[in-house]
Chains A and B, each alone.
Chain A
Amino acid sequence: QVQLVESGGGLVKPGGSLRLSCAASGFTFSDYYMTWIRQAPGKGLEWVSYISNGGSTIYYADSVKGRFTISRDNAENSLYLQMNSLRAEDTALYYCASGPNPYYFDYWGQGTLVTVSS
């Protein structure tokens, strides 16, 4: 069955960096489009970044542009999010999500929590 497992979250000081990972299994990773979505505590969903199946097309939310970098390794069935210059407002549960097309998010992981605090 499809499984997405995020890791790499934790407590980091403002201005610090973290690298999130998402390990995929149960589907042909290189055929799927991948997205990071976050949810601040008690709040709604916020789309963060997208990468196409081959990695050639990438988009970011304005709130993270220039600070976050999405990437993927199709040989390792893994998705990444490098987060630099972290701010308090980046505190959230970060989900990776996948779909067979660039439009919808069919599968979700359980999320990894990022807390930015001094």
Chain B
Amino acid sequence: EIVLTQSPATLSLSPGERATLSCRASQSVSSDLAWYQQKPGQAPRLLIYNASNRVTGIPARFSGSGSGTDFTLTISSLEPEDFAVYYCQQCSNWPRTFGQGTKVEIK
């Protein structure tokens, strides 16, 4: 099974700052990676698929990059509604796997 390791576990930032979240895979997943956002009490929401494609309706401040084993989710300027937990997920192999999550909290 492919293990996804996200870092950092927690990111403490202020609104307006840039957030950089990392996801590293235990083996190459090509570009078969997605990012999800989860707010307290809500189901996760798909933000990015195929490593860098934004889902329709997701603001342009969210961007994804990377391929192979190293991936990044960048939020260019944090809005109050962006403080949440973010998960990466690979779909290169079965079983599908998620990273353990990065919490973006208000500093």
- The residues of A with any CB-CB pair to B shorter than 8 Å are 35, 44-47, 50, 59-62, 95, 102-106, 108-111
Is the CB–CB distance between A47 and B95 below 8 Å?
Answer: yes
B19-27, B38-46, B61-69, B72-80 - the one binding chain A: B38-46
- The residues of B with any CB-CB pair to A shorter than 8 Å are 1, 32, 34, 36, 38, 42-46, 49, 55, 87, 89, 91, 94-101
Is the CB–CB distance between A110 and B95 below 8 Å?
Answer: no
Closest to A48 in B: B95
- A113 CB to closest chain B CB, in angstroms? 12
Residues in chain B near residue A44, CB distance under 8 A: 87, 98-101
16 contacts between A and B (CB under 8 A): A44-B100, A45-B44, A45-B101, A61-B95, A95-B44, A102-B91, A103-B34, A103-B91, A104-B46, A104-B49, A104-B89, A105-B44, A105-B46, A106-B55, A109-B43, A110-B43
Chain A at the B interface: mostly helix, strand, loop or mixed? Answer: loop
Is the CB–CB distance between A47 and B98 below 8 Å?
Answer: yes
Closest to B91 in A: A103
Residues in chain A near residue B1, CB distance under 8 A: 62
- B91 CB to closest chain A CB, in angstroms? 4
Is the CB–CB distance between A47 and B101 below 8 Å?
Answer: no
Give Cα A110–Cα B38 distance, bound, in whole angstroms: 12
Give Cα A108–Cα B38 distance, bound, in whole angstroms: 11
Residues in chain A near residue B87, CB distance under 8 A: 44-45
Give Cα A33–Cα B1 distance, bound, in whole angstroms: 21
